[in-house]
Every structure is written in structure tokens, then in C-alpha cells.
A and B are shown apart, each in its own frame.
Chain A
Amino acid sequence: DAGITQSPRHKVTETGTPVTLRCHQTENHRYMYWYRQDPGHGLRLIHYSYGVKDTDKGEVSDGYSVSRSKTEDFLLTLESATSSQTSVYFCAISESGPGELFFGEGSRLTVL
């Protein structure tokens, strides 16, 4: 299994609070992705990174920011969480874009 760790795995928070999800990889892959998965929508790309400090927006980036200061870590931040951001968030990695994609176990976020 690809070495991808997401934290926290579960989080409940209140509307308006900031939230940061972390993805850590031990594979030294260049590309890292954040997806959200919602019933009826499948997986949708939020942001991705193609190297340290190099990021780009995905399909549903509004309300989210990302940072990548080290190859192994990719952070997803919700500056002010809303109930519409209740979802399961998945981190994925690949050696190249779009190379074979490997996923973490997911982080379930509930915004009350």
C-alpha cells in the first residue's frame, strides 16, 4: 500500500471555525491532490500540487486554500467552515500528472 496518511480521520466543527486537514506521504511523489466525495457527485478535485510551493485550483476550490512547504506534506485549509463543506475528503498522490493515482483513507468532516 502507498504510504499516505491523512489526519484527522474524523472531525466535527462549527460553522465559521477554521479547519486544516493534513496529508502526509512517504513515497516522494511529485503530485498531491485533495478531493471531496459527496453522494450523487462522485469525487471532485479541490486543489492539487505539482511540487513544493506549486499548486493549482480544481473544480470546487472556492472556500479552500492549500499549502505545500515540503514534498511529503499537503495541507488543506477551510478558512471559515460552512455546512456545505461537510464531506469526506481524500488525499491522493501520483508520480506524474496524470500518473497512477493512490488514495489515502479519507477524512470525514462534519460542519454543524
Chain B
Amino acid sequence: KQEVTQIPAALSVPEGENLVLNCSFTDSAIYNLQWFRQDPGKGLTSLLLIQSSQREQTSGRLNASLDKSSGRSTLYIAASQPGDSATYLCAPGVGNQFYFGTGTSLTVIP
């Protein structure tokens, strides 16, 4: 069974900082990996999807990297803003399923 760990569980940074969120997974035989954000009381919003053949994917201030062989992915957020405050979840895809970590709760302080 795929185990997904996200470190740190919570993070608080001042506005403008660059930051890195980490995701590790135990089974490297993944098809892809997706990053999501979740605002309190809301559903999950897809941020980035990286295919297993890719090393990284970028969208605006977000950059996600994937090292499949070592079972790791990172989400880099540049120039953080208070609106980035949310919980960020990673989910490697295996077979027909995605397996989720418990997320990193990010607070960006104005």
C-alpha cells in the first residue's frame, strides 16, 4: 500500500518568502503525482499534475518537482502571499487510484 508523508505538517511564514513543501511516498511505481490546495470547508483544487516521465511542472508562482526513484516531490511557492494560506496536499497516482498525504497547513502572515 502506498504511504504518503508530508513534512512539515504546518508552516507559518511572512509574506514575500519563498517556501518549499515536501512530499514523500513509499512506492516509486507511480503513474503521476498531483498537488492540491484545500481551503477550510472547501473541496480540493488541483494545482499541478506531474507525469512520471517529467521532472517538474510550473504554473505561475508554483513549481513542482518529482524524483520518482527516491519517492519524493516538492512544491515550491515563490513570493508567498496571504491568499496562499491553505492546506496543500500531494497525491501520487498508482493504478486507478490516488493516495493522499495528510497535508501541510500553510499560513502566510501579512
Whether B100 sits at the interface, judged by CB under 8 Å, is yes
Interface string of A27-47 (1 = CB under 8 A from B): 000010001000011111100
Please tell me if the beta carbons of A98 and B100 are within 8 angstroms of each other in the complex: no
Interface size class of A (residues with CB under 8 A): 20 to 34
* Interface core residue of B31, B49, B96, B97 (most chain A CB under 10 Å): B96
Closest chain-A Cβ to B64's Cβ sits at a distance in Å of 13
Chain A contacts for B89, CB-based, 8 A? 42-43
Chain A contacts for B36, CB-based, 8 A? 103
Please tell me if the beta carbons of A100 and B43 are within 8 angstroms of each other in the complex: no
Please tell me if the beta carbons of A97 and B43 are within 8 angstroms of each other in the complex: no
Contacts between the two chains (Cβ within 8 Å), count = 58
Count B interface residues, CB 8 Å.
26
Of B31, B42, B101, the residue contacting A98 (CB under 8 A) is: B31
Whether A74 sits at the interface, judged by CB under 8 Å, is no
Q: Roughly how many angstroms separate A48 CA and B95 CA in the complex, as a whole number?
A: 12
Identity of the chain A residue whose Cβ is nearest the Cβ of B6 in the assembled complex: A42
Whether A75 sits at the interface, judged by CB under 8 Å, is no
Whether B106 sits at the interface, judged by CB under 8 Å, is no
Whether A58 sits at the interface, judged by CB under 8 Å, is yes
Interface string of B1-26 (1 = CB under 8 A from A): 10010000000000000000000000
Question: Assuming the A-B contacts A43-B89, A98-B32, A100-B49, are A106 and B43 also in contact, with contact meaning beta carbons closer than 8 angstroms in the complex?
Answer: yes
Identity of the chain A residue whose Cβ is nearest the Cβ of B43 in the assembled complex: A103
B10-63 residues at the A interface, CB under 8 angstroms: 31-32, 34, 36, 41-46, 49
- 29 pairs from A and B in contact (CB 8 Å cutoff): A35-B100, A40-B102, A41-B102, A42-B101, A43-B89, A43-B100, A44-B100, A45-B97, A45-B99, A48-B96, A56-B96, A58-B97, A90-B44, A97-B95, A97-B97, A98-B31, A98-B32, A98-B95, A98-B96, A98-B98, A101-B44, A101-B46, A101-B91, A102-B46, A103-B36, A103-B43, A103-B44, A106-B42, A106-B43
> Chain A interface (Cβ within 8 Å of chain B)?
31, 35, 40-45, 48, 50, 56, 58-59, 90, 92, 97-98, 100-106
